[in-house]
Amino acid sequence: MAANPGFTATAVLALALDIGANTAIFSILNAVLLRSLPVEDPQRLVQVRPGPAGDDVFTNPIWEQVRDRQQAFSGTLAYSPKAFDLADGGESHYAIGLWVSGDFFRVLGVPAIQGRVFTRDEDRRGTPPLAVIGYRFWKRNFGGERGIVGKTVRLDRHTFEIVGVTPPWFHGIDKDWGFDVAIPIACDPIFHPGHNALDERSQWWLRILGRMPAGESIEQARDRMKAIAPDIFRLTIPQDLPAEAQKEYLRNSFFLKPASTGFSEMGMQYRTVLYTMMAIVGLVLLIACANIANLLLARATARQREFSVRLAIGAGRARVIRQLMTESLLLAAFGSAAGLLLASWGGPFADHHPKIACNDRKTNANPDSRPIARPLAVVTSSW
């Protein structure tokens, strides 16, 4: 290899570029589409949807009926993302927030490393302003202070008491948003005392997930949810809908979808693009390997005299083959190491979510923005 630096550099560079590209693209693909959530037994998590496609959110009255009446799951949760302003005035500084139900952390199997997480008691009306913060938010905004429990954080100019900190491996279940701070859904009246979303039947804003019991199939859980659907939709029908739209609303049911990988609007939007890019860079890698194989064959032809001398002085054929294999493995090792080094530069993109910046800019334009109110059976655009 030292005697042929041009050949060595060409082979290593070709492998490095293609292995780096493959690793970087797969890292992004894995982060937004393939990687399971770092929660307890994620394969048993399913999402409850109002239809097989389209919208995947519900009103709070529907959520409360599902929570209190369902028998398909060992636990249910509801959540909705929201950007909270940490500043009391001047320039806004946003935290990635979540509205969550009381059983949110318990159903996911996420404990607290300090303090506690929410319980079902935090689902009641009039619950005090409490917050559970994420590990990175704790480190970044409070310097990892050990006595953080009992301290307060300001969210949209309202004071919330911190009751717990989640582990460093938990970043929420929405991969486009991440997670800084979570507050109970029941705290919505604190932000909107004149018109809160808890009893609003036309405000669609909560995703609902359930954890299937051990040994239960998704088909069994779906049948149980469909059995209670007519009563739930009858009890939660929006009164401001026209008569014809109310009839359409009552035809809705519940559908289940695996949720082990969480949610990523960016991943679904660019799903085809990511898989196409993965296929292209994989094909380029195969072409690069074929080219390097041709280079090795050409080099072996030029080394025929060397091999003849080695055989003449006693080297066996197996020894010469072993030498060529060793040279090839060294080239592959150097190329792989350089490729992984190149891929590491793209690695942060796999854990960084560009959607967050987009959502923050939307919220900056309207800091008090709230989910759009619309009839479930009439509006089918993506929330």
Coil, strand or helix at 1: coil
Q: Is the pLDDT of residue 363 over 70?
A: no
Q: Is the pLDDT of residue 381 over 50?
A: no
CA distances from 54 to 7, 257, 383 (A): 55, 13, 9
Q: What per-residue confidence (pLDDT) applies to 260?
A: 94
Torsion sign, CA atoms 231, 233, 235, 237 = negative
Looking at per-residue pLDDT, the higher value among 183 and 3 belongs to: 183
Cβ within 8 Å of residue 18, ≥6 positions away:
281, 284, 285, 288, 339
- In this prediction, residue 31 has a pLDDT band, given cuts at 50, 70 and 90, of confident
DSSP letter for each residue of 113-147: SEE----GGGGSTT---EEEE-HHHHHHHHTT-TT
Q: What per-residue confidence (pLDDT) applies to 224?
A: 96
Mean pLDDT along residues 317-323: 89
Q: What per-residue confidence (pLDDT) applies to 356?
A: 36
Specify whether the backbone of 287 is left (phi greater than 0), alpha (psi in -120 to 50) or beta: alpha
pLDDT tens digits for range 252-291: 999 999 999 999 888 878 888 888 988 998 898 899 889 8
pLDDT tens digits for range 336-356: 999 888 888 755 544 444 443
Torsion sign, CA atoms 361, 363, 364, 365 = positive
**Residue 302 CA neighbour count, 13 Å, CB half:** 8
Q: What per-residue confidence (pLDDT) applies to 161?
A: 98
Q: What per-residue confidence (pLDDT) applies to 348?
A: 53
Instruction: Single out the residue of 156, 165, 108 nearest to residue 131, CA to CA.
Output: 165
Q: What per-residue confidence (pLDDT) applies to 347?
A: 55
Q: What does the CA dihedral 233, 235, 241, 243 come to, rounded to 10 degrees?
A: 90
Q: What per-residue confidence (pLDDT) applies to 334?
A: 92
Q: What per-residue confidence (pLDDT) applies to 370?
A: 42
Identify whether the C-beta of residue 49 lies closer than 8 Å to the C-beta of residue 380. Answer: no
Which residues is 115 bridged to in the sheet? 164
Average pLDDT of the chain? 86
